[in-house]
Amino acid sequence: MASPDPHEQFMRLFLQHEPQILRLVLVYIPRQADARDVVQETAIALWKHFSDYDAARPFGSWAGGFARMEVRRFLRKAHRQAYLHEQAVTSLMAIEATSPLFDEQRDRHLAECRAQLPLEQRRVLEAYYVEEAAVEAIAQRHGRTIEAIYKVLQRTRSMLLECIDRKMARNQA
């Protein structure tokens, strides 16, 4: 039997894990278009190093390491205040590294916590992350200032993180 084509093997693994990689990147880079660019750069880096991949290790964990490097590279280049400060990202990554990558339990908790949000916060969150609407358009739609929408997004992300942390802590107890 011929050995599997490395390109085909890579594509199968990457496509299987791409949604999880995108979710990981979105934690640090909330703007969907920028996050997708980072995922694309991650794919390029993964392909360049695919010959080093040890199939005995989970692909998701291996890919997550590359995604984190690409996130740091993006944040260094971007110098945008709208994104988390690089030190905060490093701290978040250190915390995340202690738990399994792409934890299904965390995804379930996120869905539960999101469902508990007030309707307006859910709508703003959906407009920003799902519809990829510009903050200006969201502000106009909701009759609020751009600064107010940024604050809603920041407050909502904090609330979701706290809610997920509480649920994860309960599961570990």
From CA 74, how far away is CA 109, in angstroms rounded? 28
Residue 101 has pLDDT above 50, yes or no: no
What CATH number is attached to the domain comprising 35? 1.10.1740
User: Is residue 33 located within the same domain as residue 118?
Assistant: no
Judge contact between 125 and 117, C-beta under 8 A: yes
| pLDDT, greater one: 169 or 147 | 147
Structural domain harbouring 111: 103-173
Domain's final residue, options 78, 101, 124: 101
Domain's final residue, options 60, 75, 101: 101
Residue 23 has pLDDT above 50, yes or no: yes
Q: What pTM, to 2 d.p., does this model score? A: 0.51
Judge contact between 3 and 45, C-beta under 8 A: no
User: Is residue 84 located within the same domain as residue 109?
Assistant: no
Q: How far apart are the first and last CA of the chain?
A: 49
Residue 13 has pLDDT above 90, yes or no: yes
Q: What is the pLDDT of residue 134?
A: 84
User: Is residue 51 located within the same domain as residue 79?
Assistant: yes
Q: What is the mean pLDDT of the chain?
A: 81
Residue 15 has pLDDT above 80, yes or no: yes
Q: What share of the chain is helix, strand, coil (3-state, %, to 5)?
A: 75, 0, 25
User: Is residue 110 located within the same domain as residue 96?
Assistant: no
Q: What is the pLDDT of residue 39?
A: 95
Residue 83 has pLDDT above 50, yes or no: no
Return the half-sphere exposure (C-beta side, CA atoms, 13 A cut-off) of residue 52. 8
- Domain total in the chain: 2
Judge contact between 21 and 66, C-beta under 8 A: no
Residue 80's region, left for phi above 0, alpha for psi from -120 to 50, else beta, is: beta
User: Is residue 3 located within the same domain as residue 88?
Assistant: yes
| pLDDT, greater one: 140 or 131 | 140
User: Is residue 130 located within the same domain as residue 51?
Assistant: no
| pLDDT, greater one: 171 or 13 | 13
From CA 82, how far away is CA 24, in angstroms rounded? 18
Domain's final residue, options 43, 67, 101: 101
User: Is residue 96 located within the same domain as residue 116?
Assistant: no
User: Is residue 8 located within the same domain as residue 21?
Assistant: yes
User: Is residue 119 located within the same domain as residue 79?
Assistant: no
| pLDDT-based confidence at residue 48 (cuts at 50, 70, 90) | very high
DSSP assignment letter at 84? P
Average pLDDT over residues 103-117: 78
pLDDT tens readout for residues 141-168: 999 998 888 888 888 888 888 887 788 7
Residue 85 has pLDDT above 70, yes or no: no
